[in-house]
Structure 1
Amino acid sequence: MPGTGTYPRTANRIGLSEVRRVEEETSTFRALDYRYGGGWCHEAALAQLSWAYRLLDAAGTERVKARLCSALGDLTSLAGWTAFDAGFPDAAHARFDRALELAREGGDNGLVANILYRKGRVYLHYDAPSQALVAFTQGERAATAAGSALMLSVLCANQAWAHAKLGRRDEAIRSLGRADEAFSRAGDEYVPVWVRFFDQNDLAAMIGTVYTELAIGVDPAYAVAACDELTCVVDRYGTEMTRSRSFCLVLLAIDYLLMGDVDEAAEVGGHALAAAEGMNSARFADRLRPLETEAVRRAEHTEARELAERIATFAA
């Protein structure tokens, strides 16, 4: 695994080659995180950080130092994201705060926006949607300053999720519209590596996520629209995005339960559990809880009861 070997002695002066090494290692960790979960690469990412931070003490041109700050900010942010996925929210926030310092030092507003999005996601996951909205709104300002329509789309989509969690149907739908409009404007703009995950499929996944949230907390009728979005999404995710596909399968199973199709929910829920085999993500286990809750509510159905039991076994 990368990041676990012996690192070369840090030079007194650095150039782009050292910065590129940080960027390449970060890309490798990011791919591992997407496919296998943060638990597989969190410790290795921390080990890489311990070496990479030494580069800050070396001399270099202003251009190299700015790019180094951005590269280290991205690696630090990824370490925070893997901490979040591994179930360590306090450590995640600490890494994100350090990443923000580095991104701002490097003058990288786009990265600032991305880090604030990730901080917001931690709040959202731990049922603090109001705090999430604050982070997403701050991120929106940074994305606007960076001129990144794609990052703006990410933030608007996640604002919609936070509004849905708060039961604000109109605000959620309005934010989804803003996300779609910003995505359309992004066109052929340059896309940094840390936001390349957000393509048309991921936008559709966010729409399905928001509709599922509204179906759970506002009106079960939204489950139909959620199901339409998520059914297409799961078919388009490849093995390189195993975690995202697993999340969407969980949401899809919830939607089927809300629509009264227990048999289909049990089948899709089984697919979600199977897809997650070999993945190390505490966040996935947390995402199963609403599905387990909905299955338990329908325990008079054998399929729902067995699904709830499978989830309990998986979590254990």
Structure 2
Amino acid sequence: MQRRQFFKTASVGVTAIGASLLGSTPATASGSTKSRSTDAEIVRQMTETFRQLDNRFGGGHSRGTTTITSYLTSSVTPMLNDTSRTTAARNELFAAAAELHQVAGWSAYDVGNAADGQRHLRDALKLSQDAGDDALEAEMLAAMSHHAAFNRSRDVAVDMALASRRTAKRSGLVALQAEAAVLEAHGQALKGNTGACFAALGEAERAFERFVPGSGPAWLSYFDNAYLSAKFAHTFRDLGHLAEAEQFARRSLTMSDGYDRGRLFNTALLSSILADQGRVDEACAEATKAVRMSENVRSIRGGAYLADVGRRLAPYQTDRRVGAVYAQMKAVGVPTPA
């Protein structure tokens, strides 16, 4: 993506919003001096394995949530209770454990266990704070905002995003600042606060323009043009700006390999936007793609996105194309309108 192209075709009429999002693949920090404890490195390696499985197959894969929880209980908690570590080693381990709790939280949400998801994210937030890691703390607050928006808890979504923005600013990571700002924008859109929404979108755009590809911690590598485009698409859709929402939804599909669940989400998002525009044939085509993806991704959230598409297609349910999509949804266990 080139700078200054992101909003060129978006006719939102807001001059404060400018240019483009840059793609990113942040690299892990390198150096000859090993600063991580062995235990922290082991936890991070395990976390990366769980994260890759979660992103590709969803939280319901092979009892993934149970496996992560078991590992936390049997292996990580005893490490955290070990008081013989140096302060530096302790902080490194706490940060590693926070990352694992975050993955456990996403996985729990993905199988429909909101209570466990909230508990894991709260634990992750506390561990990040205990480790003195502002970046991780901002990331956990952002995750809380994300889930609040998914559940239409508008005020909580905005509050968590604002807290994330403050902490992200302390961290100095502009990618996190962009993420927190777009999450605030989505929350404001859900509340119907158009002015505040556009202001936050502008902040997200300006922050991401300062991002240097290849910088940032490994756990932030998911954050790129496609990820932020999806958030913009959600925001514009919930504002009722469907043309702009469609543009960003299409850009969100230019994502990296290994994010099969995210591709399912974004394909369903595009279908929902097309349905809202009354473009039934295109909406059904994208919905069919998303249903096929769901056969390999075990995700309650994925099912919720598909069910939302079904509701948006309800005004056209007598159309044979919609009937065919409904039949496909029912075959994979997604409820459809009566």
TM-score, scaled relative to structure 1 = 0.88
Whether 1:232 aligns to 2:243 is: no
Greater relative CO, 1 or 2 (CA 8 Å, sep 6+)? 2
Aligned 1:99-178 pairs, distance under 5 A: 99-178=124-203
Partner Cα separation in structure 1 for residue 247 and residue 142 of structure 2? 26
Moved more, 22-31 or 286-295: 286-295
Aligned-pair CA distance for 1:260: 2.1
What secondary structure, in the 3-state scheme, does the structure 1 residue paired with 2:265 have?
A: helix
Whether 1:243 aligns to 2:266 is: no
Partner Cα separation in structure 2 for residue 114 and residue 196 of structure 1? 12
Q: Which residue pairs with 1:97 in the alignment?
A: 122
Of the three residues 32, 37, 57, the one matched with 2:53 is 32
Aligned residues: percent identity?
A: 23
Q: Which residue pairs with 1:272 in the alignment?
A: 290
One-letter amino acid of the structure 2 residue matched with residue 152 of structure 1 = Q
The CA deviation string for residues 84-109 of structure 1, in whole angstroms up to 9 with x for no partner, is 11111111111111111111111001
Instruction: Check whether the contact 1:42–1:79 (CA below 8 A) recurs between aligned residues.
Output: yes
Q: Which residue pairs with 1:44 in the alignment?
A: 67
Whether 1:53 aligns to 2:48 is: no
Aligned 1:187-226 pairs, distance under 5 A: 187-188=212-213, 190-215=215-240, 222-226=241-245
Aligned-pair CA distance for 1:178: 1.0
Instruction: Check whether the contact 1:212–1:251 (CA below 8 A) recurs between aligned residues.
Output: no
Of the three residues 286, 305, 313, the one matched with 1:295 is 313
Partner Cα separation in structure 1 for residue 216 and residue 122 of structure 2? 23
Instruction: Check whether the contact 1:152–1:179 (CA below 8 A) recurs between aligned residues.
Output: yes
Partner Cα separation in structure 1 for residue 295 and residue 198 of structure 2? 34
The CA deviation string for residues 33-76 of structure 1, in whole angstroms up to 9 with x for no partner, is 11111122211211221111111232222111110010011111
Structure 1 spans left out of the alignment, 5+ residues: 1-14, 216-221
One-letter amino acid of the structure 2 residue matched with residue 49 of structure 1 = L
Aligned 1:55-74 pairs, distance under 5 A: 55-58=79-82, 59-74=84-99
Whether 1:252 aligns to 2:273 is: no
Aligned-pair CA distance for 1:249: 0.8
Moved more, 20-29 or 298-307: 298-307
Instruction: Check whether the contact 1:295–1:305 (CA below 8 A) recurs between aligned residues.
Output: no
Partner Cα separation in structure 2 for residue 123 and residue 37 of structure 1? 19
Structure 2 spans left out of the alignment, 5+ residues: 1-35
Moved more, 30-39 or 169-178: 169-178
Instruction: Check whether the contact 1:295–1:308 (CA below 8 A) recurs between aligned residues.
Output: no
Whether 1:87 aligns to 2:105 is: no
Matched positions, count: 295
Partner Cα separation in structure 1 for residue 59 and residue 122 of structure 2? 19
Structure in which a larger fraction of residues adopt helix: 1
Aligned-pair CA distance for 1:171: 2.2
The CA deviation string for residues 156-211 of structure 1, in whole angstroms up to 9 with x for no partner, is 11111111222222322221211111111222573122221111221122112212
Q: Which residue pairs with 1:16 in the alignment?
A: 37
One-letter amino acid of the structure 2 residue matched with residue 21 of structure 1 = I
Instruction: Check whether the contact 1:250–1:272 (CA below 8 A) recurs between aligned residues.
Output: yes
Instruction: Check whether the contact 2:138–2:164 (CA below 8 A) recurs between aligned residues.
Output: yes
TM-score, scaled relative to structure 2 = 0.83
